[in-house]
Amino acid sequence: AFFWLVSLLLSSLIWFIAVKASDSRDVPLQKGLLIFGVMFSVLLQETFRFLYYKLLRKAIEGLVALSEDGCSPISIQQMAYVAGVGFGLMSGAFSMINLLADALGPGTVGIHGDSQLYFLTSAFMTMVLIFLHTFWGILFFHGCEHRRWWEITAVVVMHLAVSGSTFCNPLYVGSLVPSYILMAVAAAWAYLLSGGSAQNLRRFLLCK
């Protein structure tokens, strides 16, 4: 969560400087800066995810050196899951803060003809991002651990696609549907990389 916060702080700082240094009356320029800020923030988040992986790898090496049996008490898979949850929860917390700030009022959602589904769809978007960060953490760490750079690239591309889809709003179908499809793909992929199988899933559903 701390690493995600640092990445957000740096990207916000760069976006703030870019906005202040530009003409605020130039609407196309401001929209371009917003798109740049979102894409830059995504790349910075993934950079800090990689730095966090390197830090955890060093920590595991230290744990192995100190252990009596030469094995780490925590696997890199477990750390990947926890790191993904940390990124996701902090991302969701900041999304909820922004929503609550908008909800302070005054006024009623949709009173000027805007969509009345703003808060509902924002809640669904926050939920999908929390799950996606969890799955992305597993995929990203697995790619780093086994030097499968295409897995890392896939995570970055999915993150850029989900963030970019939000620019379709207020056409919420254009952002929610692709995001949930990518979440299903990432969930299945992470499940298989974690050692899951169709047989295990069937046993789980049948409570065997």
For position 68, what pLDDT does the model report? Answer: 66
Q: What is the mean pLDDT of residues 92-104?
A: 81
For position 143, what pLDDT does the model report? Answer: 93
Q: What is the mean pLDDT of residues 70-96?
A: 85
8 A C-beta contact, residue 126 and residue 95: yes
> What is the rounded CA–CA span in Å between residue 144 and residue 10?
24
Residue 108 backbone class (left: φ over 0; alpha: ψ -120 to 50; beta: rest): beta
Going by C-alpha positions, the residue among 71, 86, 69 that lies closest to residue 141 is 86
3-state secondary structure of 206: coil
Supply the pTM of this predicted model. 0.86
pLDDT tens, residue by residue, 99-155 = 777 777 666 666 666 677 788 888 899 999 999 999 999 999 999 988 899 999 999
pLDDT tens, residue by residue, 169-182 = 778 888 899 999 99
Here the tokens at position 167 are 């620019």
